[in-house]
Every structure is written in C-alpha cells, then in structure tokens.
Amino acid sequence: MLPLTPCCNAESIYSHARPPLKAPISLLVMSLLLLLPGSARAEPASGLAMHGEPQEAKGFTHFPYANPDAPKGGRVTFSIQGSFDSLNPLIVKGAPADAIRDYVYESLLARANDEPFTLYGLIAESVETPADRSFVEFTLHPEAKFSDGTPITVEDVIFSHALLRDHGRPNHRSYYKKVTKVEQTGERKVRFTFDGSGDREMPLIMGLMPVLPRHLIDPDQFEKTSLVPPIGSGPYSIAKVDPGKSISFQRDPNYWGRDLPVNRGLYNFDEIRFDYYRDAGSMFEAFKSGLVTLRNEDDPTRWTEGYDFPALRDGRVLKEELPVETPAGMSALVFNTRRPIFADPRVREALIKLFDFEWVNRTLYHGQFARSESYFARSGLSSHGRPADARERNLLAPYADEVKPEIMNGSFAFPVSDGTGENREGRREALALLEAAGYQLKDGKLVKVATGEPFEFEILAATRAQERLLLTYAAALKQVGIEARIRQVDSAQYQRRKQTYDFDMIQYFWPVSLSPGNEQSFRWGSEVAVTDGSFNYPGVKSQGVDAMIEAVLKADDDDNFVSAVRALDRVLLSGDYVIPLFHLPRQWVAHWADLKRPSTTPLYGYQIDTWWLDPSAAQPAGAGTGKP
C-alpha cells in the first residue's frame, strides 16, 4: 500500500490529519495561546507540540520538505492490493477505499511530518490549552468551508465529536469519551474539557478529529456502509468510483485552504487514482507497463532482481532509496491469545524460538532485512540493548512479574541461528518449553499429554507474499511435530475475520511514530481486547501494559516520555504476544521519471503529496487512464 502520510498517532491509520492553517496576509500562522497559572498567557506561537516547542516560528511560509513553487497539474495512478466495499473510513463495517480520510475529510489541526508530533492550524486558526492541558479551545478559521460551499461552524465540530464518540470506530469512541464537556464559547470558538485522567495528548487528539458536515449526515445511518461519495472540506473530492476496483479524486479548484502557508507545495496533482489489484505480481506488472506511477517496494527479492526492465534501463523509471528516521514499527506473526492453543506464554515463547530469522532472511530476502527486537526498533524509544533506567524501574516495580529479568537489564536478544536452516538450538529450547507446557512428541506429532490432541493451528494469509514466508515457517514447525495450515482468503474475508479476531495467527504490521500515545491503548489496552475492530489483535490483557500506556500519556517532558515508552516496550516484549519479524533500514521507491520530488525528505519518509509531475516530460503510456 502506498504510504500517503506517516501512519502514526492518535487516530492511527484512520487519521492522517493533513493540510494546516489558513491565514490572511497579516495572519500567516495560527496563534497558540498557552494559558498559564493566574491567567497569564504565553506569546503566540506557531503550533502545538506534544513535548517541547514547535519547530516552525510564526510567519513561516511553507514546510521545509515542500516546494512552494511546485507546478500543479497532471494525473497519477497508484496501486493497492485488495478491494473495497465502502466509502466511509470512520466506521467498523466494511472495507473502506483508500485515502478518503486523507483527501476528503480535514481536521481542526494538521501535523508536520518533519517533527515527532506537532500540529499546526487547519480548520482551526488558533488553539488554546492550559499548562495542565485539562481543556482545549479552538477558534475556527472564518473562511473554512465544505466543498459544497457550506461554512464550517462550531455546530459541525460539536456534531462530529458526538457522532464519532457514539457511532465511530472503537478508537474514536475510546478517545472522545475522555471529553466531559463540549461548549461553544464564542461565535467561532469551541472548548473541550477533559476528564481527570491526566492524558496530556488529548488536546492534540481533538485537534486531529475529522470535522464532518452536520447538514449532510444522518447519525442513525452513519454506521452503515455506503458507496455514496462523502462531502468534506479537503483539497480533493471523489470524482469516480468503480466499486472494489478503483477510486479517483479530483483536485478542488475552489478548495478553501489552497493558499495556506502549510499547504504550499502540497496537493499538486489534478487527479489521483487508486487501482486495486488482487495480487502483488499484477501490481508490479502494471507499474512496469506505465499504468501505475509510483511503487513503494518492500520485497527485497523484487528490489534486487525484479527491476531489470527496459524503462528502468533507459532512465524512464527511477529507483531510489530514501532515508526515514522514525521507528520501524512492529511487523510480526501475531498469536491470538484468545485461542486456548496460544493462551500459555511458554507455548508462544517456544514458537518464537522456532522462527529462524537468519535462514529466512538469507533464503527469501537476500539478507536485506534487520531483525526487529523491539516494538520501537530503529529509534531511541527502543528498550533493546539498554538496561532500564531509574524511572523505568520505578514505573515497572508494581509489575515486576510481567517483565523478564533479561529484558529489564537489557541483555535480551532473540535467538541467532547459523543460517543453515537446521536451527538445532532453537528446536531444543522450544521442545523443552513445550514439554513444560504439557506437550510431547508422539509418532512424529506434538500432542497434548492430557487430551491426546495434536498441536494444530491455522495461519490466515491475505497475499501470496505472506504465503511464501508462512510456508517457510510452517515447514520449521513441522520439524517438531506442529501442523500449521496456511489459508489464503480474499481481502474482504480477511478484513472481516481480522476485525472479529476470527483467526489463530496472522501476519500484521503496526506502524509507529516518534510520539506514540493514545493509539497504544487501541493496540494493546485490556479494554479493547474484547472490542471488535480494535488493533489489539493478540488480545493483550495486562495490568502492566495498561499502566505503562497511562504513564506514556501522562509524561510531561521528554525524559519521562522516553522512559515510559521503553517500559511499555519491555512489558510487551516480555509477554511474547507476537513473533517479531524484520524491517528495512530505508524506504525503497520506484517511480516514472516525470514524477518529481523535493530535495528534502522529512523524518517520516517521503510524502507523496509534496511531489509533482514535470509538465515538460511526457507521462508513460496509459498513466492515469487505466489503459496500456
């Protein structure tokens, strides 16, 4: 899937809050007024950061990773594997089409992609919050409007909060219920007052709340899937939908926010189309033939061997390795601990030891991957190789039985094999754990001693690329008498089974930002472990995890924040909820040469909305048309 924006914070994959602040000539930036004790106020600033101060000073003209002189125009086509049956990305039901949240709906504030977690104004031209962040007050921009010309009002904001709190996805419901009072405090002002949980991220979460048109939405019908194109306030509108096959977005020439400083250099394509494909092979062939404009590559074999075709050799297609400075996230095989077969942590630890990373990386991926040994790998938030500091030990003291000593002291590492595929040491240690858990080998099969039941389970797959990895792992399990059946299903069925936790094991990826926060509750919190539609696929129910997430949310400076995140990492690693896989050290991108990008790449990696088409270069045959 093409990463339109970093997948990160409060709204997880359902909120890539995008273009910021509108400003007349005399107000190029928003005014953030931090209320201090005794009603004293700080000087106006240009944004709101989770920790520390915003990077951009007031009066900035554009983000450093955008080219304000980028030409507008042209059509681009991107590819996605799967299908869709809904145009509402804000509800549990259905498989929504991609990018609607990005291009159609907007938030009160929008994030900067070259800062860990900082927001600048969008629908709201200013924001105020006290030092304790017990409330947040937004002043709406007077020119903000929906694409049908209707002005955005305080009533729309209040309506959106109530709608998503009561009818939205579980993450919305969880976050927005922390609001105890919503009130209109002026003609264009709205204030959200929070509960006493001490969650310092809540002002930013409310800033990322999508604002929906009250005059067009029936709350009683909101939770039903629909293919009726929604109306929002964003830079694009939906131009054409071929259900399950493609969706096209048309740039709105009357977009109210097109001249905002933080929008300068963004949204340069006149038309953006997403074509859906059943398999990765078809997607790649479409790119090679010019039907697709850009490809985000994650297959080392294809990257190493598959790009030897005429268009690349003659320079019409370019391959680039771009830097990314964010945590790698957690790519893993996920145990569904709700299933009895994976309820015993000794069983889970045994299956982790049976995963031979060195063999898999060498034989399947040309040695291109690095092993992920943390939920926050590739960043200073990782606990791997670091002994817990005094702050971490204090946080974890009440939950000492939930953290393995070797993870606490920083000496833990996943098993390293000789890469031959034998993995004798891993098998020996795994069998010892399985025997302790009540299993034994009998006639070549691992069985439960008490019942005689064989150790069998199903791994659900959505793509052939997944299937290749899973078959390799299943072969390793078979060496110790475990039968793992691989079942590949279509994307719609996969989505339904994933949302209702109807699986034994799946492969999944949780992206991570430099400022993890409330989305961690939606991934690992005990409360959502029994809520359909959450991202807590392993079914984590841990007092230690819940407490560390709370500590992350209450952290009031960088030191306490980093310690809390590392403490959370240690508890999650100790629970053996997943088999961590691997990550790439850089972003791999291939694109047709007429697609240009700014010289600066932000922290979160390339941002396609800052790219543009060179008007002097011919597009590849069929680009944006769906025809070769």
pTM: 0.74
| Integer angstrom CA distances of residue 103 from 62, 235, 237 | 19, 6, 7
Q: Is the per-residue pLDDT at 544 higher than 90?
A: yes
Are 439 and 449 a contacting pair, CB within 8 Å? yes
| Integer angstrom CA distances of residue 253 from 147, 150, 236, 347 | 10, 16, 9, 58
Per-residue pLDDT tens digits for 224-279: 999 999 999 999 999 999 999 999 999 999 999 999 888 999 999 999 999 999 88
Contacts of 398 (CB under 8 A, 6+ apart): 547
| Cα–Cα distance for residue pair 595/293, rounded to 1 Å | 8
Q: Tell me what pLDDT residue 624 has.
A: 43
| Cα–Cα distance for residue pair 143/150, rounded to 1 Å | 10
Q: Tell me what pLDDT residue 52 has.
A: 82
* Separation of first and last alpha carbons in the chain: 22
CA torsion sign, 475 to 479 to 480 to 481? positive
Per-residue pLDDT tens digits for 281-339: 999 999 999 999 999 998 888 999 999 999 999 999 999 999 888 899 999 999 999 99
Contacts of 313 (CB under 8 A, 6+ apart): none
| Cα–Cα distance for residue pair 79/276, rounded to 1 Å | 6
Chain mean pLDDT for the chain: 89
Q: Tell me what pLDDT residue 82 has.
A: 92
Q: Is the per-residue pLDDT at 614 higher than 50?
A: yes
Q: Tell me what pLDDT residue 515 has.
A: 87
Q: Tell me what pLDDT residue 558 has.
A: 87
DSSP letters spanning 481-512: T-EEEEEE--HHHHHHHHHTT--SEEEEEE--
Q: If you ran DSSP here, which 8-state letter would residue 41 be given? A: B
- Domain ranges in the chain? 12-62+107-214, 330-583
As a CATH number, domain 330-583 is 3.10.105.10
Are 326 and 6 a contacting pair, CB within 8 Å? yes
CATH topology of domain 12-62+107-214: D-Maltodextrin-Binding Protein; domain 2 (3.40.190)
Tokens at 372, concatenated? 């992920």
Are 527 and 517 a contacting pair, CB within 8 Å? no
